[in-house]
Structure formats: structure tokens, C-alpha cells
Amino acid sequence: MNNIVRKNILKVKPYVPGKPIEDVQREFGLKRVIKLASNENCLGPSPKALAAVKKGMASINRYPDASSFYLKKKLSRELGVSEDMIILGNGSDEVIVVAIRTFLNEGEKVIIARPTFLIYEIASQISNTEMQFVPLTKDFKYDLKAMRDAICPNTKMVFIANPDNPTGTYVTKKDLEAFIEGVPRDVIIFLDEAYFEFANYGFKDYPNGMDYLDRPNIIVSRSFSKAYGLAGLRVGYGVANPELVAYMERVRDPFNINLLAQVGALAALDDKAFLNKTLKFTAKEKEVLYKAFDRMELKYITSATNFILVDVKKDCKAVFNELLKRGIIVRDMKAWGLDTYIRVTVGTAEENKMFLKALKEIL
């Protein structure tokens, strides 16, 4: 039956998600397990979102609004763009998939940094898209000049994670603007801003993708999974000029956004207190982690997100496993080719202490 499947599907390397807490509890017989593996918001979901979900529950026998009318309207006001410039996704992952399915003919090319967020590669492979990978610079930053030079007549899209995952670095306003100027207008720049809120808090030369939407070839994506604390609900969005959005809307599944996700995200946008608390807390705890890494003489990358990439100077899979035994889930960077690195999400003050204590024991 192996001739029944599309050949390119056989080449897809499935995405390996962060281990769920319940899995580790089951496998190791542990009661308390802390997860610092998926860059979730350790302070929980926005309380306003929770209240809205509770109120919306009674209607889950009804289909969600296929147009996400109220959520789009609210986002439109928040972002200062018209409603026809917004497309909702089942997480911003889905916006990436929809963009590829809308614009990439088989055999056309996308440009992807290496290492970076893995979904660009997986989604491209599924669509049988040619991929060209451009290594990060030695200090783990996007090499925009090399990415520009990689563009050829066959190139249709370039992915820029800003800030980047798993490194936590970002492209500056100046560098992004020079890059945008240099890219032909029929090549789409996909600007993935899943960690926008964290980078926008205190990094003055971090650019806001919304400022470039007068260009015909820019798609910006953002997420409710990180700073807004709604990873479990699956809501993200893309913003682009109305023509690109109208094309993508033809590819989007009509009921892709869950009814509770719509009401939860809508309320979360109103919960500025929770967002500010999250941003302030994350910045503070990053400093705690940096200082501890300094004392342990571990190299890390200053992060514009809610996670930190750190060189543990040992086989990262072994360190990952030792942490797991102690009920702490992080991400080993083997799949990204960074053999001595782990990525750790900023947790609560108590979780970060537990992580640091365990790490010291292990190293």
C-alpha cells in the first residue's frame, strides 16, 4: 500500500511536542511534575478568559461562528488594522500551514533558517515545497543577508521567526527594514511573532510587524498561546493586506476556531492586568535564571521571549533525562542539532528554583 501515499509525506519528520505532565507522572510514578518545555504561561490562563469560557460553555452544542465576528472586530481595534486584514488560526501553526497551502505551488521554494521553529519545515514538506535552509550566525541570530541572497526566481516565501524559537534572539527594526526593502514584492515575508508581547516589553529596537503591512507581501502571525496563557484553546491569527487574507480565507477550514477559543481569546484581549503581570514577572524571573547560569558558568542566550536556550556542556539528552527523573520537563535541543543545549521555559519562582537546584545536582 506504500504507493497509496504521496511520496513527499514519507519524508515528513513528525513534530515531537514537549512531554505532557501526565505522561511523566505515569512513566515515573511522580506526583509533582513541572513543565518548562513548551513556553506556556506559568501564571495560568487569563482570569477574564476563564470567566468567559465558563459563561460560553452552555452553547457548545452550537457550531462556532465561522467568521469569528466578535474576535476579529476586537483584534481589528487592538491592532489598528481593518477586519479584512485578519485571519484566525487553530493556533498560529495553522496560519503557517494555510499560508503554504494558499501560495506555494509544488516545487516552488521557501527559505527557512536553521535551526528555527520546526513547523515551517514540516508544513513545507507536507505541501511538497522546495526548501532552502540558511544557518543562523554564530551568535544564534537570523542571517538576513544570507537569506536575502538565497532568494531566486523560484522563491515564493521566506519565514522569519521574530523573536526566534528556540534561540530567543530577535531581528532588529533596522535589519528587518533593510531586509524588507531588498526582497522582491512577489516573495512573501512570513513574520512569525508568536512571542511578540515579550519582545515588545523592554527591547526598544524590536520591530512591530504591523508597521509594515502597507507592503503587499507581508504576513504577520501572532498567538494567544504564550503571553495570553491560552495554549490549550488553540487560537492564533495572521494579519496581511486584504488580498492575501482573502486568498487564505478560501483555504481555511470554516469552523477552525472552537467556540470557547473565540470567547476566551476575546476576553483575554481585555485582560491588560494579566498581560502586564505576565510580562513583568517573566522579565524578572529571566534575570534570576541568567544570574544562576552565570554562577554555574553556563553560556546562555539573552532572550526576548519567555524561554532561555542554555548550553549545559554535556549531552543534552542525558541532562533532559536526569531532569525528567526529578519531575522537571525541559526541551533537549537534539532535534535542532544543538547537542549540548536545553531550552527552558520561565516558570513560577518556585519552579525556577526547583529547576536550578536539580540542574546543579546533575552537572
Residue type, 40: E
174: three-class secondary structure by DSSP: helix
Quick check: 166 binds a second copy (CB under 8 A)?
no
Strand, coil or helix: what is 303? coil
Of the pair 38, 162, the CB lying nearest a second copy is at 38
Whole-number Å distance between alpha carbons of 292 and 200:
25
CB of 138 to a second copy, least distance (A): 31
Rounded to the nearest angstrom, the gap between the alpha carbon of residue 4 and the centroid of all alpha carbons in its chain is 33
Can residue 129 be called a binding residue for a second copy (CB under 8 A)? Answer: no
- Does 31 contact a second copy by CB under 8 A? no
- Measured from the CB of residue 41, what is the shortest distance to a second copy in angstroms? 5
* 82 versus 105: smaller Cβ distance to a second copy: 105
What is the rounded distance in angstroms from the CA atom of residue 16 to the CA atom of residue 334? Answer: 11
The Cα–Cα gap between 220 and 235 comes to 15
Is the CB of 211 or the CB of 243 nearer to a second copy?
A: 243
> Could you say whether residue 4 binds a second copy (CB under 8 A)?
yes
Gyration radius of the chain over CA positions:
20
- Decide: is 105 part of the binding site for a second copy (CB under 8 A): yes
Interactions with a second copy, residue window 246-305 (CB under 8 A): 247, 249-251, 253-256, 258-261, 264
Q: Decide if residue 54 touches a second copy (CB under 8 A).
A: yes
Residue from 111, 189, 233, 359 touching a second copy (CB under 8 A): that is 233
Residue 229 as a binder of a second copy (CB under 8 A): the answer is yes
Cβ contact 246:194 at 8 Å: no
88 DSSP β-pair partners = 237
| 152 touches a second copy by CB under 8 A | no
Amino acid at 326: R
94 binds a second copy, rule: CB under 8 A: yes
Q: Are 278 and 229 in contact (CB under 8 A)?
A: yes
Enter the C-alpha cell of residue 88: 484566525
Pick 72 or 234: Cβ nearer a second copy: 234
| Residue whose CB is less far from a second copy, 214 or 297 | 214
Q: Residue 360 and residue 297: Cα distance in Å, rounded?
A: 11
**Does 204 sit near a second copy (CB under 8 A)?**
no
Distance, CA of 163 to CA of 179 (rounded, Å): 16
- Determine if 130 is a binding residue for a second copy (CB under 8 A): no
Told to check if 188 binds a second copy by CB under 8 A, we report yes
**49 lies in the site for a second copy, by CB under 8 A:** yes
91 binds a second copy (CB under 8 A): yes
